[in-house]
Structure formats: structure tokens, C-alpha cells
Amino acid sequence: MSHESSLMPRKGAFGAYGGRYVSELLVPALDELEEARKTIVRSSSFKREFRETLREWAGRPTALTYAANFSKRCNMQVYLKREDLLHGGAHKTNNVVGQGILAKRMGKTRIIAETGAGQHGVATAMVGARLGFETVVYMGARDVERQAPNVKRMQLCGATVIPVTTGSQTLKDAINEALRDWTANLGNTHYLLGTVCGPDPFPRLVRDFHRVIGKEAKQQWADRVGGLPRAVVACVGGGSNAIGIFRAFLKDHDVDLVGVEPGGRGLESGEHGATLQKGTPGLLHGARTSVLQDEFGQILEPHSVAAGLDYPGVGPEHAHLRDIGRARYVSVTDDEAIEAFETLARTEGIIPAFESAHALAYAMKAVALGDYEPGTRILINCSGRGDKDLDTYRKLYGHRIGGAAQAKGTES
């Protein structure tokens, strides 16, 4: 591939990434949102409402947990930032609360969102209910089938779930469809994008709503442990939980920032979602970023056992952090993630999301890889809880649970 290496984005650029690669028809909506980001989001009354809602409705601050037993398995000292304890079960809630309050103050009456596994859809439906929006969630038809419990949750909160039957019928097609809806309805509608991707100003807007993760963790670490962690580790699909926790440590150059990508069935298999390690620069969903694509620029379907990491692009800021060497990106396979999922459940009584299990799986092999000395203190973002993954786990790996579990899960 001889991609256009000289292209430098202008709007909201992170080095050679970011920008606004959308149709002219979206300009009024993006300009309006950028203006709101500069005025409303920076106002003290917005900040107060955001902080109070996170505290009283969403349950912040979340705990910092020393995982003593899991640490032994890793041969390191592992601290978990417990975003799994946040209302809704994942860090996603930070962003939907921020954008929800913002949309309300912009005078919008309708919010739309894309969702893959359904977590961002559920979070959007929750905030839509709380703030009184008409809520529409686009979800690939294949995902609607695979994630039926989350569809029910969204509907219970009053959202309309629209199955997307075009293209590959997964997350990327849901984003395309949400962009189309927004183009046609930008007067009354806010597109509540779920990760640090998309056209400017979304990557910065979403990042800023997730900064609270790292800010809290850094303070908790200083109070409880002292000093700074040697490394901060988070999983990366679109990359919002990782940016949220990395951001507070960006200028602490002794702290390694490690993003863990979904290695799926192995980086050499072609069936993975390791966009930063195997992707090339491209334009996807409004940004120039690292993209999984073929030689002609057609977007490829990624693979991961974790539906939330199953995305062919990545937040442009991550591509920049990679290029400048400030963050390092590694991968673990589906099987390694599942092993970490089981290990954390058995050693700590915490069932992490498959996505978060990727970050945990890296910790389990980091010493063996020679990346860190035994006993190193690291901070891992436990970005979500794994209840949503139990059906998938039972179907794919049920034979590994002892006792009453079904060997093949065929009863479902």
C-alpha cells in the first residue's frame, strides 16, 4: 500500500491523525458542537452538573483495588481502577453523562448512538431516560442477535433500537447509519458518539469526559501507595478508557503507558483487531487514523472475542501517541484474555469484561516477556464488568467451568 503519507489533518489534529473527513452536510453540526465544547463544557455550571451527576447517579469516585492474589499470578503488584463499579457496568457512563448534559444545554431533544456489543447503547439509553431525550440506538443486525440482553436493557430504558442491515451489519455499519441519521436530523438531534473516534471535535470531547478516570486514579495512588505506578495498562478498541486513564500520566515520563489491543486468533492469523500494530493510515468515520484495510482502502472486518474491541479503526490520539513513542501498544489473544477473565474471577472475586481482561492478560505475561522486573507496581484500568459476557463465555468456553456448567452450551 502506498497510502497518502503526506496528508496532515487540520481540524483538531493529533500530529498526522484526526481531522474532519466527513461530508459538507455535517459541517453545521460539527461547528455547533465545537462551539458548545468551547463555551458550555468549559462553564462552571456545566462542570458542576457533570460532577454531581457522576457522583450521585453514576457512583463516582470508583475504587482503586489492590489485587493481592492476582498480583501473585502476575509476579507484580497490580492495582485495579474499578470502572466496572460505575453505574451501567463500564467507564462508558462518564462520556454519556457528559454528552447528555451537553446535548440538553444545546437544546437538543433527541439523541442517537451507535453500539456494537450494546454497552454504549445501554449507557446512552440510561442517560436518555434520566435527561428526558427521545433515544435511538443503531446496532448491527448481527449484533442485535448476539447481544439480546443488552437490546432488552435499552428498550427497558425507553430507547428505540434500530437493527442495521447494511454492509457487514456490525459496529462500523451502525456508525455509518448514525452519521446518516445525524446528517438528516441535525437540528434537533445530537449524535452521542461512544468512543474517542470520529470527526473533530469528538475525539477531544469524549476524551475530556473520561479524564476523570486517570485523575481519580492518580490521586488515589498518591494517597494509598505513594509516588507513581511504573506502568498504566488499559485495553484499546476505539480507545476511550485508555485515553481516559493515560491522560493524567501523559507528562509523567517515568510512567509507561501501555495499550493492549485484541490479538484475536493471533496477529499473523489476520483475525484480530490490532489496529495500531497491524493497521495503516486511512480515513474512517471522519478521522485520519490507523485503520485495518486492504490495499485499495476497503475497510476490513476485525475479530475479537470482546465485541467492544472489535473495531477496524482506533482513536486518532492513540495513533499519535504510538508514533511519538509516548505510549506502547501490545496485544493478547482471545485465549489469553479468557484466561485472565477466569483468573481474576477466581483469585479476586471480580468478573471483568472481556475487553478489560485484555489489559489483565498483558499483566499476566509482562514479567515473562521481560518487559518488567518482578514486583513492579502497575495500574490497570478494569474498564467494565463481565456480566454481559457470560452467555458468550458459556457458549465458547463453558466446558472450562467446573461442576454444573453445560459442556457445549447447546441449550440456549
Residue pair 182/344 in contact by the 8 Å Cβ criterion: no
> Nearest approach, Cβ of 400 to another protein (angstroms)?
36
Single out the residue of 90, 258, 299, 361 in contact with another protein (rule: CB under 8 A). Answer: 299
Catalytic residue among 240, 290, 356, 383: 383
Residue pair 124/115 in contact by the 8 Å Cβ criterion: yes
Single out the residue of 124, 150, 293, 383 in contact with another protein (rule: CB under 8 A). Answer: 293
State phi, psi for 408 to the nearest 5 degrees: -125, -5
**What are the grid coordinates assigned to 410, written together?**
447447546
Single out the residue of 103, 154, 186, 193 in contact with another protein (rule: CB under 8 A). Answer: 186
Residue pair 364/341 in contact by the 8 Å Cβ criterion: no
Single out the residue of 295, 325, 407, 410 in contact with another protein (rule: CB under 8 A). Answer: 295
Is residue 3 involved in binding another protein (CB under 8 A)? yes
Long-range Cβ contact pairs of 28-31 (< 8 A, separation 24 or more): 28/186, 29/182, 29/183, 29/186, 29/191, 30/199, 30/200, 30/201
Query: Could you report how far apart the first and last alpha carbons of the chain are, in Å?
Result: 44
| Contact map string, positions 8 to 27, toward another protein, x by CB under 8 A | xxxx-------xxxxxxx-x
Question: In the β-sheet with 256-262, what is the strand arrangement from edge to edge?
Answer: 64-66, 77-82, 377-382, 231-235, 256-262, 327-332
92 is catalytic: yes
Q: Which is nearer to another protein, 4 or 56 (CB)?
A: 4
Single out the residue of 16, 257, 284, 353 in contact with another protein (rule: CB under 8 A). Answer: 284
Is residue 1 involved in binding another protein (CB under 8 A)? yes
Single out the residue of 118, 238, 263, 281 in contact with another protein (rule: CB under 8 A). Answer: 281
| Contact map string, positions 134 to 173, toward another protein, x by CB under 8 A | --------------------------------xxx---xx
Q: How far apart are alpha carbons 338 and 272 in whole angstroms?
A: 15
Q: How far apart are alpha carbons 159 and 177 in whole angstroms?
A: 16
* Residues within window 38-77 making contact with another protein, judged by CB under 8 A: none
Q: How far apart are alpha carbons 126 and 97 in whole angstroms?
A: 9
Residue located via cell numbers 458518539: 193
Q: Which is nearer to another protein, 296 or 404 (CB)?
A: 296
Catalytic residue among 92, 104, 108, 218: 92
114 is catalytic: yes
**What are the grid coordinates assigned to 346, written together?**
477466581
Catalytic residue among 114, 317, 339, 348: 114
* Structure letter (DSSP) for residue 327: E
Is residue 389 involved in binding another protein (CB under 8 A)? no
Q: What are the catalytic residues? A: 92, 114, 383
Interface residue list for another protein (CB under 8 A): 1-11, 19-25, 27-28, 166-168, 172-173, 175-176, 179-180, 183-184, 186, 281-286, 288, 291, 293, 295-299
